[in-house]
């Protein structure tokens, strides 16, 4: 992962390094999203400060006998504005399995809370691991290797990284081939002379 400060401070060097590795990244778009994210954080912090100031004034006003209803309602509206700043895209994101395995979760689009997405996707991919092992056993095959890759993406609305899905890869080999190879000993490739 590239630190956003490095992109901000030396965009040309980052672009050159990425191109050298064969990547084409929209660094201007990344910087624009970063600027939007920092603006949202700034507004959120200002609203929190306003809420804290108004909340701190309420006890003093009550002690002096003044009405505290107006400052309290003002604090509530700041809280509501902060909540409105939450990312709708992340809240409404749905996950659906793209495989042909009908025995795993997420067969229909399912909403997952953003903070639970990583563990839910890991659990889902683990279902594929278990089912592929069971399938290999049923077919009298052995599992040579299995790997799980979690995919990430960046939300276009809030700029936060999130787990967008996963891929499970399983390689199996027939038990019979392995037993036959053991009986014959190691097989060396044959070369033809001309």
How many domains does the chain contain in total? 2
Do 121 and 159 have their domain in common? Answer: yes
Q: Domain for residue 148, yes or no?
A: yes
Nearest residue to 142 via CA among 181, 110, 94, 109 = 181
Spatial distance between the Cα atoms of 129 and 103, rounded to a whole number of angstroms:
12
How many angstroms separate the Cα of 64 from the Cα of each of 11, 161, 175? 57, 49, 86
Per-residue pLDDT reduced to its tens digit, 14-36: 889 888 888 888 888 888 888 88
Q: Domain for residue 74, yes or no?
A: yes
Do 9 and 63 have their domain in common? Answer: yes
Do 41 and 116 have their domain in common? Answer: no
Phi, psi at residue 44, to the nearest 5°? -65, -45
Do 120 and 153 have their domain in common? Answer: yes
Structural domain range at position 97 = 91-181
Per-residue pLDDT reduced to its tens digit, 166-186: 999 999 998 865 555 555 655
| CATH code where residue 37 lies | 1.10.287.40
What does DSSP assign to residue 56? H
Last residue of one domain, picked from the residues 69, 85, 101? 85
Q: Which residues contact 132 (CB under 8 A, 6 or more apart)?
A: 143, 146, 168, 170, 172
Do 67 and 108 have their domain in common? Answer: no
Last residue of one domain, picked from the residues 85, 101, 118? 85
Per-residue pLDDT reduced to its tens digit, 62-102: 666 655 455 555 555 555 555 556 788 888 888 988 888 88
Last residue of one domain, picked from the residues 40, 58, 85? 85
Do 77 and 95 have their domain in common? Answer: no
Q: Which residues contact 119 (CB under 8 A, 6 or more apart)?
A: none
């Amino acid at each position: 992962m590239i630190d956003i400060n490095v992109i901000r401070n030396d965009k040309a060097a980052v672009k050159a390094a990425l191109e050298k590795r064969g990547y084409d990244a929209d660094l201007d778009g990344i910087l624009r999203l970063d600027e939007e994210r920092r603006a949202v954080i700034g507004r959120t912090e200002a609203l929190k400060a306003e809420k804290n100031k108004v909340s701190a004034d309420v006890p003093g006003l009550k002690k002096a006998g003044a009405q505290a209803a107006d400052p309290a309602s003002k604090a509530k509206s700041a809280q509501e504005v902060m909540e409105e700043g939450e990312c709708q895209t992340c809240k409404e994101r749905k996950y659906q399995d793209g495989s042909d395995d009908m025995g795993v979760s997420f067969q229909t689009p399912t909403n997952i809370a953003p903070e639970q997405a990583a563990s839910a996707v890991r659990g889902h991919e683990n279902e594929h691991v278990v089912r592929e092992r069971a399938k290999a056993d049923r077919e009298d095959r052995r599992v040579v290797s299995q790997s799980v890759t979690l995919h990430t993406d960046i939300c276009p609305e809030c700029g936060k990284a999130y787990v967008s899905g996963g891929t499970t890869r399983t390689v199996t080999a027939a038990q019979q081939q392995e037993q036959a190879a053991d009986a014959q000993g190691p097989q060396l490739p044959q070369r033809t002379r001309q």
